Amino acid sequence: MVEPRPQSVDPALRDALTRRLHSRSVVSGQITLPAAPGLLDAYVTMCDDIFAAVGRRFSAEQLVHFRSLLDDQLKQAFAASQRSNVVIAYDAPIGTVLNYHVTPEWSSVEGTYENWIASREPPLFGTEPDARVWELACGATDPGAFRVLDIGAGTGRNALALARRGHPVDVVELTPKFADMIRADVARESLDVRVVQRDVFATTDDLRRDYQLILLSEVVSDFRTTKDLRGVFELAAKCLGPAGRLVFNTFLARNGYAPDDAAREFGQQMYTSIFTRDEMAAASARLPLQLVTDESVYDYEKAHLPDGAWPPTGWYAEWVSGQDAFDLDRELCPIEMRWLVYQKTS
Q: Let me know whether 62 and 143 are in one domain.
A: no
Q: Let me know whether 225 and 284 are in one domain.
A: yes
Q: Where are the beta strands (DSSP E) in the chain?
A: 27-34, 84-92, 99-106, 148-151, 169-173, 193-197, 211-216, 240-253, 274-275, 289-296, 335-344
- Compute the average pLDDT of residues 39-67: 94
- Residues 217, 156 contacting (CB under 8 angstroms): no
Could you list the residue range(s) of the whole structural domain that residue 89 is in?
13-106
316-341: buried (b, 16+ CB within 10 Å) or exposed (e) per residue?
A: bbebbbbbbbbeeeeeebbbbbbbbb
- Compute the average pLDDT of residues 44-73: 94
Q: Let me know whether 220 and 300 are in one domain.
A: yes
Average pLDDT, the chain: 95
Q: Let me know whether 179 and 51 are in one domain.
A: no
Confidence label for 1 from pLDDT (cuts 50, 70 and 90): low
Query: Which range (7-11, 232-236, 261-265, 300-304) has the least confidence?
Result: 7-11
- Could you report the per-residue pLDDT of 157-214, keeping only the tens digit for each? 999 999 999 999 999 999 999 999 999 999 999 999 999 999 999 999 999 999 999 9
From CA 161, how far away is CA 124, in angstroms rounded? 16
- Could you report the per-residue pLDDT of 267-296, keeping only the tens digit for each? 999 999 999 999 999 999 999 999 999 999
Please identify, among 51, 83, 106, the residue that sits at the C-terminal boundary of a domain.
106
- Inform me whether the pLDDT recorded for 7 exceeds 90: no
Q: Let me know whether 119 and 240 are in one domain.
A: yes
Query: Which range (95-104, 111-120, 326-335) has the least confidence?
Result: 111-120
Q: Let me know whether 335 and 274 are in one domain.
A: yes
From CA 52, how far away is CA 44, in angstroms rounded? 12
Please identify, among 106, 135, 156, the residue that sits at the C-terminal boundary of a domain.
106
From CA 150, how far away is CA 169, in angstroms rounded? 7
Q: Let me know whether 197 and 284 are in one domain.
A: yes
Q: Let me know whether 235 and 295 are in one domain.
A: yes
Q: Count other C-beta atoms under 10 Å from residue 281's C-beta.
A: 10
| Structural domain total, the chain | 2
Please identify, among 80, 106, 132, the residue that sits at the C-terminal boundary of a domain.
106
- Could you report the per-residue pLDDT of 221-242, keeping only the tens digit for each? 999 999 999 999 999 999 999 9
Output the pLDDT for position 270.
96
Confidence label for 262 from pLDDT (cuts 50, 70 and 90): very high
With respect to residue 296, please indicate whether it lies within any of the assigned structural domains. Answer: yes
Angle at which helix 131-138 crosses helix 297-304, to 10 degrees, equals 70
Output the pLDDT for position 162.
98
With respect to residue 1, please indicate whether it lies within any of the assigned structural domains. Answer: no
List helix spans (H) across 24-130: 40-53, 60-80, 109-119
**Confidence (pTM):** 0.92
Residue 318's closest CA among 271, 260, 263?
A: 271
